[in-house]
Structure 1
Amino acid sequence: MSFDTKNIRNLALLGHPGSGKTLFSECMLFEAKEISRIGKIEEGNTSSDYTNIEKERGNSLFSTLMHANWKDSKINILDTPGFDDFVGEVICSLKVADLGVMMLNAKNGVEVGTELIWEYIERFKSPALFVINHMDHDKADYEQTLEQAKARFGNKVIPIQYPITSGAGFNKIVDALTMVMYVFPDGGGRPEKQDIPASEMERAQEMHNALVEAAAENDEGLMEKFFEDGTLTEEELAEGLRIAIANQQIFPVFIASAERNMGSGRIMGFINDICPSPADRPAAELADEGTLACDANDDTTVLIYKTISEPRVGMVSYFKVYSGKLKAGDELVNQTNRNSERFGQLFVANGHERTQVDELQAGDIGVTVKLKSSHTNNTLNDKNADRQISPIVFPEPRIRTAVDPPSKNEMEKLMRALHQIEEEDPTLIVEQSPVLKQTLIHGQGQLHLDLIKYRIEKVNGIKMDFIRPRIPYRETITKSADTMYRHKKQTGGAGQFAEVHMRIEPYYEGMPDPTGLSVRNTEIEDLPWGGKLAFYWCIVGGSIDAKYSNAIKKGIMQKMEEGPLTGSRCQDIRVSIYDGKMHAVDSNDMAFMLASTQAFKDGFRQAAPQILEPIYDLEVLCADDVMGDVMGDLQTRRAIIMGMGTDGHYQKITARVPQSEMYQYSSSLRSLTQGRAKFNRRFAEFSPMPPDLQKQLIDEHKTELAEA
């Protein structure tokens, strides 16, 4: 069955881990009769969280597509992970959703994960509503959770429902929109509608009036009607709320107990009746700064928002139809690589279960298999269209690790498997670092890296161990030194001879010419790894022919790529070549290159060398009661605290931390805060290393060279 665009609803279930997203999706599917019984997370039989690792951990690690046919509409449901390590799954879901359903835990209130995800709701300008879940928990606190939501997200947060009682006795919901009370049987399920008790009428009416005012504010006609009559009809109220929600003017608040299936049916009704369809949302942004309206009568354009690889199936592509109609068997052209792709089969999904369909219309979300050369973020069009949906922007990695290299044969298999996962997961970066001589994996957090390891070992059958990654230190000098080196080699025939005299100094922009030398030529080289080499040719009288200048510079550059102290790259050095000797027969480029390399190495060690370590700006968001522990941990990591402040209900710590002290920080922070914290980091600068640590690093390098 194909649904018209106006009868499609696309929602992403969002929230901190433990807020109840997966179980709430089960209730939605059950209420819509898509499943015959509500699964349980501990039994591993939910429609979402169907992979083995999700069943083992009892948490969502991937986004899962489901759908529920409700009345005349189709509600596509994207259940997303709560852990920030898997933020990529949240971002790609919000890209294609038209509504964010933010689950709040009535026991814990607004948690860190809620705050983090809200940033993406704001970035995507997504309409949103809140569901305060776990209302049946003994420590559920509706009032406090609602107040926290208002304090963090503003006065646009407007309650539609409230409970008569919370905790184990929770079974009555007062609804200020419909002005009825829903009374649930003991085991949950379908409620009975009753009149609101007289004792609650004043509060319910006050909430109702607030909804009417919010609905009227967004339409001049409704506002006039409201002023004239003092109220709105049910149809006018629904239309006003639809406009307000679509434009992010209000964020309604509902309550529920997913554990006992209380409240989900009413929320689905609201989503169906009031919340925006894809046609009600602003036109999609295109990469060329144009826009594309969600119109089934336009040419067909789809965006692949997610790809996964499944055994015995191959590549599975999840996509949204942004315009037109997509029929089974249609051929579309990939806008990026211009390859044609045949959508041989179309499916709608409920977790791992897929049902084949003949057609999907603009606004709908579907699945296909075996596309040859199309991946996440690719736009595909029919032959009449030439446009590209603005791609999903994924966050930069926050953590890295190195791979302990197995045997050569295993390494080849491992790299193929890693690149396969990298193709599916845009938040993962696999790097072969020639500088560090390691294979590095960059991810969002330790859980993210653990998931990669699990997949490599369980799915691909390849043993993979993580080891501490090397640090990309830099080497420089802090004072001037004059040095020389004579390279002389006789091998029976033509020999090798070159003598080079040089002065090396710390380089900075605008520094004066070297004292006592006559500068003939200046080259300022921007080094590929950052910093500069200033190469001055100061030969007077022809002691070295200028034709050897490039060879001398090349010898210096070779040593700068693998510095004298630790083998790290050198930067910000000025080298002045001011004297030397050559031989009419035995001098050549190779001889001068070797002589300059050795002269630079000797001079470098005499010029008060300094190792520079990479420093990162770190920002930590955490709960107030764990701030002391976080600060204490940072101090053990040689961190310099740059500032402290608040962000909503949470404390924000900014610090500068050496990269070498950030290894496994993700795991440490999660352990310290019980998962109630998040961090991000970005490179700041290279800074001089403390003398004792510099000596230790140099000694370790000498030991490595001796053992090699």
Structure 2
Amino acid sequence: VGFGSALYKWGVSMPSMQRTGIDFGDIMDLERSGEEGREELQERSPLSNVVLDMVAEHFPNPVDAQPRRIPTVWRGDADTDLAESMQLVDEDGEVVFMSTDISMDPHAGEIATGRLFSGTIEEGQELYVSGTAGTNRVQSVGIFMGGEREEVDAVPAGNIAAVTGLKDAIAGSTVSSVEMTPFESIEHISEPVITKSIEAKSMDDLPKLIEVLQQVAKEDPTIRVEINEDTGEHLISGQGELHLEVITHRIQDNQGIDVHTGEPIVVFREQPQDESDEVEGVSPNRHNKFYITVEPLDDEIVEAIQLGEAAMNMPELERREALQEAGMEKDTSQNVEHIFNTNILIDETKGIQHLNETMELVIEGLEDALEDGPLAAEPVQGALVRLHDAKLHEDTIHRGPAQVIPAIRDAVHRSLIDARIKMLEPIQDVRIDVPSEHMGDASGEVQGRRGRVDDMYQEGDLMVIEGIAPVEEMIGFSSDIRSATEGRASWNTENAGFRVLVDSLQTEKISNIRERKGMKQELPPSIDYI
């Protein structure tokens, strides 16, 4: 076990504490002494050394690990020479490399770091990057010696390689010397739950900021960067207030760009609570009709989708089995037409003429409706949408995008309302380590934020408080907990998904979000259950 600060780059473990002589008292004293203390901590016990020692101690040898890992992380043909080469860690085989990190070096440029499963990677090779066209030319290869990258002539299979020239690679890309089935993608269950606008204080820095934001998004897949089309602002979304603070700190200190960030905006979700009656969606020209119901998905099925265990890009039989294992009925799993975020479309129609050629528009209308829910235009999650029947005009021109998409969007939204859709708020698990004399103040900070304290126990000289709290209420927690405990508390938070917002706050929250987005304040009359 190790712990420390990613922001201030110090870390400790039991072996490192024995080696450096640093104890918990030293850590508390140095942290309280401010910037100079943190710099001393970083110098005496660098986080990179602690993590590297743990990796060397506990990670298995690739020669032992790859024969059992390959069938788990790769869904290609197990009987091919390529599969055998990866399992044997064959340095003479085809190059197969998985990029797990993208970083920027001021001299070398973009560096893709990851595991080399087979082959030998060297300068000048032309390699394919999964999901992109053409090849990328390797400019240099290296390995890391501690925190330093050392260039070498070649890196054989089994090593962690640091490669430049792979301009199309992102974290999770499969890079290879032959076109191949890519590895299972890196899935991140934790979705971004908080958003801030970010802008350069000087217009001269704007091009550099755009470049840095694009790089940040490649380096950290849990960060989402987009442009607000209405205001032109750059929006950056992450796992919480601290996550965005760290990113902003890196942009300012590492890249030298002075930036201004807006007030944090929490991302909510909308989810159906019951099964709806069948709803008819009619196209503007009245020639096309769709009959739809909506019901909530089981949590186990939502989790299977989030983990990548059930996806449209996997073989149909595997997807069916994964959904059935998560609790979906067999007949339903056989009719899955589309999966969008954590929502599923089931096609239960029988022999509808022209539906196959119209299904692409049906899916587009579905995604449009689920991207902006009917309550506050927040994303919908955990919805099972069933298409029971459809009546389509024979002439293609009368069942085009302008007819089908609005009909589906309207039907899905009215079905969601009939299924008593409600707002969900993101929540976080909270852990606070604090001296016993400040335990009451610390637990009060959680409970005063609509939070819940689940457990309190002693660990060494400190009391540990564990609980849960809404992300929105945790904004400003860092400064408040420091004030309440005289700076003697340490804490961490971890996203714990979403929960239904209490009924007493539903109307107020919906109204606030609609006002912020410039939407009409009046809800449709059919939303009378909140």
User: What range describes the TM-score normalised by the shorter chain of this pair?
Assistant: 0.5 to 0.7
Q: Following TM superposition, by how much is the alpha carbon of 1:85 offset from its aligned partner in structure 2, in angstroms?
A: 5.6
The answer as to 2:265 corresponding to 1:469 is: yes
Distance 2:59 2:22 in 1: 24
Q: Following TM superposition, by how much is the alpha carbon of 1:635 offset from its aligned partner in structure 2, in angstroms?
A: 0.6
Say whether the 8 Å CA contact 2:430–2:469 is kept in structure 1. Answer: yes
SS at match of 2:287: strand
One-letter amino acid of the structure 2 residue matched with residue 582 of structure 1? L
Distance 1:596 1:611 in 2: 22
Q: In the alignment, which of 446, 461, 483 is matched to residue 671 of structure 1?
A: 483
Deviations 1:553-612 (A, max 9, x none): 432222112222222222332333334433333532422232111111122222211222
User: Who is 1:587 aligned against?
Assistant: 398
One-letter amino acid of the structure 1 residue matched with residue 336 of structure 2? E
Residue ranges of structure 1 left out of the alignment (5+ in a row): 1-81, 127-281, 291-306, 317-331, 343-361, 366-375, 490-495
The answer as to 2:10 corresponding to 1:90 is: yes
Say whether the 8 Å CA contact 2:5–2:11 is kept in structure 1. Answer: no
Residue ranges of structure 2 left out of the alignment (5+ in a row): 33-37, 65-102, 110-121, 128-136, 163-189, 302-326, 521-530
The answer as to 2:440 corresponding to 1:628 is: yes
User: Who is 1:288 aligned against?
Assistant: 62
Distance 1:662 1:465 in 2: 18
Q: Identify if the C-alpha distance between structure 1 residues 705 and 659 changes in structure 2 by more than 3 Å, giving closer, same or farther.
A: closer
SS at match of 1:102: coil
The answer as to 2:329 corresponding to 1:503 is: no
Q: In the alignment, which of 439, 445, 451 is matched to residue 236 of structure 2?
A: 439
Distance 2:124 2:463 in 1: 45
The answer as to 2:469 corresponding to 1:657 is: yes
Distance 1:598 1:415 in 2: 37
Q: Identify if the C-alpha distance between structure 1 residues 698 and 584 changes in structure 2 by more than 3 Å, giving closer, same or farther.
A: same
SS at match of 1:656: strand
The answer as to 2:253 corresponding to 1:455 is: yes
SS at match of 2:260: coil
The answer as to 2:367 corresponding to 1:557 is: yes
User: Who is 1:415 aligned against?
Assistant: 210
Q: Following TM superposition, by how much is the alpha carbon of 1:432 offset from its aligned partner in structure 2, in angstroms?
A: 0.4
Deviations 1:73-97 (A, max 9, x none): xxxxxxxxx983635x225999999
Q: Which structure has the larger Rg over C-alpha atoms?
A: 1
Structure 1 residues 291-440: aligned runs within 5 Å = 339-340=139-140, 378=149, 380-381=151-152, 388=159, 402-405=196-199, 411-417=206-212, 431-433=224-226, 438-440=235-237
Q: Identify if the C-alpha distance between structure 1 residues 309 and 93 changes in structure 2 by more than 3 Å, giving closer, same or farther.
A: farther
Structure 1 residues 40-119: aligned runs within 5 Å = 84=5, 86-87=7-8, 89-91=9-11, 99-102=19-22
Q: Following TM superposition, by how much is the alpha carbon of 1:420 offset from its aligned partner in structure 2, in angstroms?
A: 7.3
SS at match of 2:375: coil
User: Who is 2:336 aligned against?
Assistant: 523
Say whether the 8 Å CA contact 1:404–1:467 is kept in structure 2. Answer: no
Say whether the 8 Å CA contact 1:475–1:611 is kept in structure 2. Answer: yes
Deviations 1:288-314 (A, max 9, x none): 369xxxxxxxxxxxxxxxx9989xxx7
Distance 2:254 2:155 in 1: 42
Distance 2:193 2:517 in 1: 28
One-letter amino acid of the structure 1 residue matched with residue 20 of structure 2? G
What value does the CA root-mean-square deviation take over the aligned residues?
Answer: 5.5
Higher alpha-carbon deviation: 497-506 or 382-391: 382-391
Q: Identify if the C-alpha distance between structure 1 residues 456 and 627 changes in structure 2 by more than 3 Å, giving closer, same or farther.
A: same
SS at match of 1:687: strand
Distance 1:413 1:704 in 2: 29
Distance 2:160 2:462 in 1: 36
User: Who is 1:533 aligned against?
Assistant: 344
Q: Identify if the C-alpha distance between structure 1 residues 384 and 468 changes in structure 2 by more than 3 Å, giving closer, same or farther.
A: closer
Identity %: 16
Distance 2:428 2:272 in 1: 19
User: Who is 1:694 aligned against?
Assistant: 506
The answer as to 2:487 corresponding to 1:487 is: no
Say whether the 8 Å CA contact 1:287–1:388 is kept in structure 2. Answer: no
Q: Identify if the C-alpha distance between structure 1 residues 85 and 108 changes in structure 2 by more than 3 Å, giving closer, same or farther.
A: closer
Deviations 1:218-251 (A, max 9, x none): xxxxxxxxxxxxxxxxxxxxxxxxxxxxxxxxxx
One-letter amino acid of the structure 2 residue matched with residue 555 of structure 1? G
One-letter amino acid of the structure 2 residue matched with residue 432 of structure 1? V
SS at match of 2:505: helix
Q: Following TM superposition, by how much is the alpha carbon of 1:468 offset from its aligned partner in structure 2, in angstroms?
A: 0.6
Q: Identify if the C-alpha distance between structure 1 residues 119 and 623 changes in structure 2 by more than 3 Å, giving closer, same or farther.
A: farther
Say whether the 8 Å CA contact 2:424–2:501 is kept in structure 1. Answer: yes
One-letter amino acid of the structure 2 residue matched with residue 595 of structure 1? A
SS at match of 2:284: strand
Distance 1:97 1:106 in 2: 10
Say whether the 8 Å CA contact 1:398–1:680 is kept in structure 2. Answer: no
Distance 1:427 1:619 in 2: 24
Say whether the 8 Å CA contact 2:436–2:462 is kept in structure 1. Answer: yes
SS at match of 1:432: strand
Q: Identify if the C-alpha distance between structure 1 residues 699 and 469 changes in structure 2 by more than 3 Å, giving closer, same or farther.
A: closer
The answer as to 2:410 corresponding to 1:598 is: yes
Distance 1:608 1:384 in 2: 57
One-letter amino acid of the structure 1 residue matched with residue 265 of structure 2? P
One-letter amino acid of the structure 2 residue matched with residue 569 of structure 1? P
